[in-house]
């Protein structure tokens, strides 16, 4: 009986996604036009999704049409909309701390939808991670806006549901195809919202085009491909804990690129986040000599032709 030796590699590959997401604040601040969050979110999702659809040339069938739009709303359109509302109404530290509750929500939802046991060590790891994020990004004079906090919690719940349902609804297609469906659906849902709630986008500058291209190709298509690949291989709570890496990367970018200082409190928060991620993975890592149970083989699916 052998250990699932690919588990650590799958975790590391999945961790690339939230690490890259940590660069979103920097790119948004210095490369994108201000005041168009929904339009930018739509431009981030829809072109990337359509590009991936052109590559895979595979549309959803049957029940997967509805599931694609549900997951697209949870993981992309509603999540990003709530994230922007929270970011605009709250200081960045408060928004990040509120969003850090997501791993704990995923643990509860995994119990409800997937029948996964609630591990004490995973809960402790989630609480340590939240505390670490607070020390890393929260300032003493941070304002607490009720609407912003509600939006942040709604976004965390949305992404948590999307994370768990992405594992619960395992599609008979590749991760690339699954990613293309969700990004396209999420982008389509954002089109009327951006059109009705925001003014027309001004003529983009070269910096704007570069920023949108980065967020679409790298920050959406590439990272969501890694994220959904990870969700098909590791438990949702293990993947969700990796989200703590986003504020860590955002803080490090501020230090490296903007010359911002790191206080002893932030360094302590940095260490707590890393300990939290390690504890979370430790609580779920297959034990030596034990084979991780896998789902029963599904009935044979017809071959899917890829472009």
pLDDT (average), residues 195-215:
92
Residue 290 banded pLDDT, cuts 50, 70, 90:
very low
Q: What is the pLDDT of residue 143?
A: 64
pLDDT higher at 41 or 286? 41
Is pLDDT above 50 for 294? no
Give me the mean pLDDT over the 133-143 stretch: 73
Q: What is the pLDDT of residue 293?
A: 45
Distance of alpha carbon 274 from its chain centroid, rounded?
Answer: 18
Q: Among residues 28, 29, 44, which one has the least CA distance to residue 217?
A: 44
- CB-side neighbour CA atoms (13 Å) of 238: 24
Q: Report the residue count for the chain.
A: 307
Of 81-85, 176-180, 211-215, the poorest mean pLDDT is in 81-85
Contact status, residue 90 vs residue 138, Cβ threshold 8 Å: no
CA–CA gap between residue 227 and residue 186 (Å, rounded): 16
Least confident interval from 132-141, 188-197, 279-288: 279-288
User: How confident is residue 226, by pLDDT bands cut at 50, 70 and 90?
Assistant: very high
**What is the average pLDDT across 77-88?**
82
Note the pTM of the prediction, 2 decimals: 0.81
Structure tokens at 118: 């609630």
Q: pLDDT above 90 covers what percent of the chain?
A: 38
The total of other beta-carbon atoms located within 10 Å of residue 217's CB is: 15
Residue 163 C-alpha from the chain's centroid: 8
Most confident of 97-101, 132-136, 269-273: 269-273
**pLDDT recorded at residue 14:** 93
What is the per-residue pLDDT across 28-67, written as a single tens digit (0 to 9) for each?
878 888 888 889 889 999 999 999 999 999 999 999 999 9
- pLDDT attached to residue 100: 80
Across 141-155, 212-226, 273-287, the highest mean pLDDT is recorded for 212-226
pLDDT score, position 95: 67
| Mean pLDDT value across the chain | 83
Which residue bears the tokens 């029948």? 115
Q: Going along the chain, which residue ranges are E strands?
A: none
Please give the backbone phi and psi of residue 299, each rounded to the nearest 5 degrees, phi first: -60, 145
Task: Tell me the average pLDDT across 122-146.
Answer: 80
Distances (CA, A) of 114 to 175, 283, 296: 20, 17, 14
Residue 205: CB atoms within 10 A of its CB come to: 12
Please say if the pLDDT value at position 180 is more than 80. yes
**Cβ atoms of residues 116 and 167 within 8 Å:** no
* pLDDT tier, 187 (very low <50, low <70, confident <90, very high otherwise): very high
Spatial separation of the C-alpha atoms in residues 146 and 151, rounded to whole Å? 9
What is the phi-psi region of residue 289: left when phi exceeds 0, alpha when psi lies from -120 to 50, beta otherwise?
A: left
Q: What is the pLDDT of residue 256?
A: 80
Least confident interval from 60-74, 115-129, 194-208: 115-129
3 state DSSP class of 246: helix
91: confidence class by pLDDT, cuts 50, 70, 90: low
| Mean pLDDT computed over 229-240 | 88
pLDDT of residue 140: 65
Query: Under a CB-based contact definition with an 8 Å cutoff, are residues 194 and 39 in contact?
Result: yes
Q: Among 34-48, 93-107, 221-235, which stretch is predicted with the lowest mean pLDDT?
A: 93-107
Q: Does residue 33 contact residue 264 with C-beta atoms inside 8 Å?
A: no
Cβ within 8 Å of residue 105, ≥6 positions away: 156, 157, 160
């Amino acid at each position: 009986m052998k250990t699932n030796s690919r588990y650590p590699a799958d975790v590391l590959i999945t961790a690339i996604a939230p690490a890259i997401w940590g660069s979103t604040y920097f790119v948004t601040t210095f490369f994108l036009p201000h005041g168009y969050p929904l339009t930018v979110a739509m431009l981030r999702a829809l072109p990337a999704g359509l590009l991936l659809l052109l590559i895979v040339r595979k549309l959803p069938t049957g029940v997967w049409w509805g599931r694609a739009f549900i997951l697209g709303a949870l993981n992309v359109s509603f999540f990003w909309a709530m994230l922007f509302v929270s970011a605009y109404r709250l200081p960045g530290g408060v928004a990040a701390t509120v969003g850090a509750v997501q791993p704990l929500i995923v643990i509860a939802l995994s119990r409800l939808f997937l029948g996964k046991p609630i591990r004490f060590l995973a809960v402790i790891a989630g609480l340590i991670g939240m505390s670490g994020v607070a020390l890393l990004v929260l300032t003493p004079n941070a304002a607490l806006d009720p609407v912003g906090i509600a939006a942040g919690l709604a976004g965390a719940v949305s992404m948590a549901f999307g994370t768990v349902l992405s594992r619960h609804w395992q599609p008979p297609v590749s991760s690339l195809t699954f990613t293309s469906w969700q990004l396209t659906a999420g982008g389509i849902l954002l089109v009327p919202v951006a059109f009705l709630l925001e003014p027309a986008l001004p003529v983009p500058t070269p910096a704007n085009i570069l920023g949108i291209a980065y967020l679409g190709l790298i920050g959406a298509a590439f990272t969501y491909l890694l994220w959904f690949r990870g969700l098909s291989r590791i438990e949702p709570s293990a993947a969700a804990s990796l989200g703590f890496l986003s504020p860590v990367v955002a803080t490090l970018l501020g230090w490296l690129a903007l010359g911002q200082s790191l206080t002893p409190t932030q360094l302590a928060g940095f260490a707590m986040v890393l300990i939290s991620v390690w504890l979370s993975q430790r609580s779920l890592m297959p034990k030596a000599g034990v084979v991780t149970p896998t789902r029963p083989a599904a009935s044979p699916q017809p071959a899917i032709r890829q472009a």
